[in-house]
C-alpha cells in the first residue's frame, strides 16, 4: 500500500545543508493504522510531508498504491493527492467563514460531484465522528476536539487510500485526545483506510497496530511498548 525506499532528505540554506532524514525504508499494509513516533525535531513532519507529496526528497522513492510519487510532476502529484491522500493537521486548518458541513464538503467542491450528494456524504461523516448536530455551525463555535472531528470528516470525504495526520491531538487535553484516537481507530476499522499518525507521545502511538520510531532522522525498529529500539541505518544499536 505504502512503501518508502532508501529515503533521505536534506534542507539547503545557501551553502549549508542539514540532513534531516537518512536512508529510511519501511512499508505499511492496506488498512493498517501506524504511528510515526519521535521527539521534536526527529524528522517526523518532514517524513510525513514527503509521503503526502508536499515536497520532493533529496533521495529515495515513495510508492503509494503502486505509484512512485517521487517521479511525478507537479500536475500529476496534485491530481494524485486529490484522489488518494487525506491530511489531518494539528491545528485543524478549518475555513472560518464556511460552516462545519461546508468545510467537510470542500475537497469535493473541486471534483464534479453534485451538491446534494456532497451534502449527504458530509452529513454521514459528521454522524460518524459524533457531531451531526454541529453541521450548520461555524468552526469558532466548536471546541478544539469538535474542530478536529470536523477535520477528520473532511479528510475522509474523498475516500482516500491513506490519511496522514500530523500530531492530530497535539492541541488537545488528555481526555479529548483519547476520544479523537478512538474515533480514528474506529474509522480505520470500518472504512479500511490506512492511517499514518505522527506523534511524540508514546500513549498515542500505543493505540496503533505498528510503531515506527524516528530518532535524529534515523529509523528505529520498535516491536511494541516493551521492546528495546535498535538503530537501523546507523552504526550502533542501543542496549
Ligand atoms: N524548511 C526547513 N528548512 C530547514 N530545516 C528544516 C525545515 N523543516 C524542518 N527542518 C529541520 O529538520 C529537522 C526535523 O524537523 P521536523 O521534520 O519538523 O521534525 P518533527 O516533526 O519530528 O518535530 C529539525 O531539525 C528542523 O529544524
Ligand atoms: Mg512535526
Each residue's pLDDT tens digit in the chain (239 positions)?
999 999 999 999 888 999 999 999 999 999 999 999 999 999 999 999 999 999 999 999 999 999 999 999 999 999 999 999 999 999 999 999 999 999 999 999 988 889 999 999 999 999 999 999 999 999 999 999 999 999 999 999 999 999 999 999 999 999 999 999 999 999 999 988 999 999 999 999 999 999 999 999 999 965 444 444 445 444 444 43
Smallest-distance ligand from the CA of 19: 1
- What pLDDT does residue 228 have? 47
Nearest of 167, 163, 146 to residue 94 by alpha carbon = 146
Looking at the CA of residue 48, tell me the nearest atom of ligand 1.
17
Cβ–ligand 1 contact at 40 (below 6 Å): yes
CB under 5 Å of ion ligand 2: residues = 45
- Structural domains in the chain plus CATH codes: 2-92+161-231 (3.40.50.300)
- What pLDDT does residue 227 have? 43
- What pLDDT does residue 110 have? 81
Nearest of 33, 34, 62 to residue 47 by alpha carbon = 62
SS3 17: strand
- What pLDDT does residue 2 have? 96
Nearest CA to ligand 1 atom 24: 41
Ligand 1 centroid to Cα of residue 195, in Å, is: 22
- What pLDDT does residue 196 have? 97
Q: How far from 236 is each of 23, 220, 225, 232, CA to CA, in Å?
A: 15, 11, 21, 8
Cβ–ligand 1 contact at 9 (below 6 Å): no
Cβ–ligand 1 contact at 45 (below 6 Å): yes
- What pLDDT does residue 55 have? 94
Sheet holding 210-215, edge to edge: 85-88, 162-166, 194-199, 33-37, 210-215, 218-221, 230-231
- What pLDDT does residue 226 have? 44
Smallest-distance ligand from the CA of 47: 1
Q: How far from 189 is each of 20, 37, 113, 175, CA to CA, in Å?
A: 33, 21, 26, 21
- Looking at the DSSP assignment, which residues form a beta bridge with residue 68? 63
Residue 192 CA to residue 19 CA, distance in Å, equals: 35
- Looking at the DSSP assignment, which residues form a beta bridge with residue 134? none
- What pLDDT does residue 111 have? 84
Amino acid at each position: 500500500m505504502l512503501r518508502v525506499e532508501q529515503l533521505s532528505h536534506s534542507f539547503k540554506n545557501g551553502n549549508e545543508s542539514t540532513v534531516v532524514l537518512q536512508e529510511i525504508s519501511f512499508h505499511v499494509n492496506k488498512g493498517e493504522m501506524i504511528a510515526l513516533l519521535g521527539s521534536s525535531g526527529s524528522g517526523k513532519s518532514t517524513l510525513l510531508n514527503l509521503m503526502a507529496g508536499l515536497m520532493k526528497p533529496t533521495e529515495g522513492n515513495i510508492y503509494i498504491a503502486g505509484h512512485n510519487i517521487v517521479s511525478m510532476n507537479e500536475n500529476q502529484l496534485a491530481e494524485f493527492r486529490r484522489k488518494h491522500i487525506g491530511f489531518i493537521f494539528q491545528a485543524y486548518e478549518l475555513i472560518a467563514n464556511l460552516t462545519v458541513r461546508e468545510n467537510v464538503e470542500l475537497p469535493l467542491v473541486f471534483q464534479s460531484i453534485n451538491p446534494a450528494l456532497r451534502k449527504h456524504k458530509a452529513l454521514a461523516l459528521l454522524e460518524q465522528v459524533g457531531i451531526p448536530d454541529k453541521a450548520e455551525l461555524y468552526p469558532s463555535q466548536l471546541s478544539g476536539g469538535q474542530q478536529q472531528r470536523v477535520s477528520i470528516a473532511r479528510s475522509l470525504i474523498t475516500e482516500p487510500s491513506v490519511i496522514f495526520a500530523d500530531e492530530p491531538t497535539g492541541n488537545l487535553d488528555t481526555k479529548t485526545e483519547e476520544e479523537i484516537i478512538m474515533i480514528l481507530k474506529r474509522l480505520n476499522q470500518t472504512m479500511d483506510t490506512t492511517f499514518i499518525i505522527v506523534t511524540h507521545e508514546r500513549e498515542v502511538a500505543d493505540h496503533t497496530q505498528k510503531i515506527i520510531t524516528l530518532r535524529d532522522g534515523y529509523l528505529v525498529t520498535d516491536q511494541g511498548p516493551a521492546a528495546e529500539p535498535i538503530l537501523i541505518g546507523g552504526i550502533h544499536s542501543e542496549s
